[in-house]
Structure 1
Amino acid sequence: MRFVILIGATVLSLSAAAFAAAADEPVRNGASPENTIEKPAESREQKLDRLFGELKREGDARSAERIARRIQQEWSQSGSASVDLMMQWAQKAAAARKYDVALDFLDQVVTLQPDFAEGWNRRATIHYTMKNYAKSMADIDRTLKLEPRHYGAISGLARIMSDTDRKEPAINAWQRVLDIYPALRAAQDQLGTLSEDIAGQSI
């Protein structure tokens, strides 16, 4: 009986040792059990939230520009191959100054995918280039309802305000841009120039 008890105790001891060794194995191999668990992928909104947080904290203009490019890449993804293709065609037409052709493509983009903020923003840009300010502002409004942090659209609004000699609203718009993208030099320069103009008028 003592022999059987001793064997049983030995088996239990060996089993416990083997379990402990198995538990320690990831640590000895340089990995912890926690590190073997895959983190869930970021959603598009989570990624944009993170990038906008980085953009707001970044004081260096070049580093901020790299972050801004990543944000723009996210904005440009419609999720539809046909819409992406029409966006490319619109861009080529605009580069060739065929603005009516670009508008035709962008009209189709916003019709097919009305919740795609960048489609509205691109069309606002074409309208602005053609000095169709009222239409541009309407498209900017749609853009900002879909993506309130769209500093490009707010910059467009600021330029329209400046072009139509509404300096105080232009200043407010540039300040909104800098709240989102503090290191944007173009916004800093425009805000400085407009502020000096208003200060000069009050003297």
Structure 2
Amino acid sequence: MKQITYAAILLITSTTAHADECPVAPDHSADVSGVIAQIQQAENEQAARLLSNQLWEFWTDAPDESAQAVLDRGMTRRNAWDLLGAIEDFNKLVAYCPSYAEGYNQRAFAHYLRQDFQAALPDLDKAIELSPNHVAAISGRALTLLGLQRIDEAREALNQALELNPWLSERHLLAPGGPLAPPGEDI
């Protein structure tokens, strides 16, 4: 049993160093677009939230078992607030699977939680480049830009996310008096 565990760890460690060995991530773009269309037609926030949870099933479907193991471990570490450990895992994932959007999105989230907004922003940009309808990355970009006090860009990013999902909880940031309220409505 110890040999199998050691072999699995060796496989994950050795494959993370070779980006050319990562298979192409599953193409869930049609599924994501379908769920987004349903969200846009949702009658209330609760219905939209249930649909939004389905998006995570697609986004977190890693290209292979090795990538999935590293993603899952990184997310577990992040949830336990071991942010540096999570970033270490997401670094391995991005190195192994540079065309897998969720590796960048998860690393950005860990950086965001550390309030390292400068480090989070390029990862969010890359995640969105790889997955243009990644609502969570787009709204995360808005929050990161807000953290950087780049208000106009944050407002623009949040509006882009709300076009995809008008029920996002972050929408309150655009309300009168909110930090991203349109000029003239911020008082």
Separation of aligned partners in 2, 1:71 and 1:169: 25
Tell whether the 8 Å contact from 2:117 to 2:145 is kept in structure 1 after alignment.
Answer: no
Q: What's the TM-score, normalizing by structure 1? A: 0.72
Rounded Cα–Cα distance in structure 2 between residues aligned with 1:166 and 1:140: 15
Code of the aligned partner of 2:162? L
1:123-142 deviation line (CA, Å, top 9, x unaligned):
01111112222221110011
Equivalent in the alignment of 1:136:
120
What is the aligned partner in structure 2 of residue 5 from structure 1?
Answer: none
2:26 is equivalent to residue 63 of structure 1: no
Match of 2:15 in 1: none
CA RMSD, Structure 1 to Structure 2 (Å): 1.9
Which of residues 71, 76, 95 is equivalent to 2:60? Answer: 76
Task: Name the residue aligned to 1:27.
Answer: none
**Identity, % of aligned positions:** 21
Which residue is equivalent to 2:13?
none
SS at match of 1:128: helix
Runs of 4+ residues over 4 Å off in structure 1:
none
**Per-residue deviation, residues 95-134 of structure 1 (Å, max 9, x unmatched):** 2222111111111111111111111100011111122222
Q: Which residue of 1 aligns with 2:167?
A: 183
Partner secondary structure for residue 199 of structure 1: coil
Cα deviations across residues 24-80 of structure 1 (Å, max 9, x unaligned)? xxxxxxxxxxxxxxxxxxx73322221121122223111111111111111110131
Show structure 2 runs of 5+ residues with no match.
1-26
Q: Which has more radius of gyration? A: 1
Aligned position for 2:101: 117
1:194 to 173, 179, 183: 179
Separation of aligned partners in 1, 2:88 and 2:148 = 27
Query: How far apart, CA to CA, are the structure 2 residues paired with 1:130 and 1:188?
Result: 23
> Cα deviations across residues 149-183 of structure 1 (Å, max 9, x unaligned)?
11111112111222222222221111111100012
Change (3 A) 1:166 1:82: same
Q: Which residues of 2 match residues 15-26 of structure 1 at below 5 A?
A: none
Structure 1: stretches of 5+ with no match in the other structure: 1-42
Which SS does the other structure have where 1:97 is aligned?
A: coil
Aligned counterparts of 1:156 and 1:176: Cα–Cα separation in 2: 12
Distance 2:53 2:181 in 1: 30
Residue type matched to 1:187 in 2? Answer: E
TM-score under structure 2 length normalisation: 0.77
The residue type paired with residue 43 of structure 2 is G
How many Å separate the matches in 2 of 1:59 and 1:175? 20
Larger relative CO (CA 8 A, sep 6+): 1 or 2? Answer: 2
Q: Which amino acid aligns with 1:53?
A: A
Q: Cα distance, 1:85 vs. partner?
A: 1.2
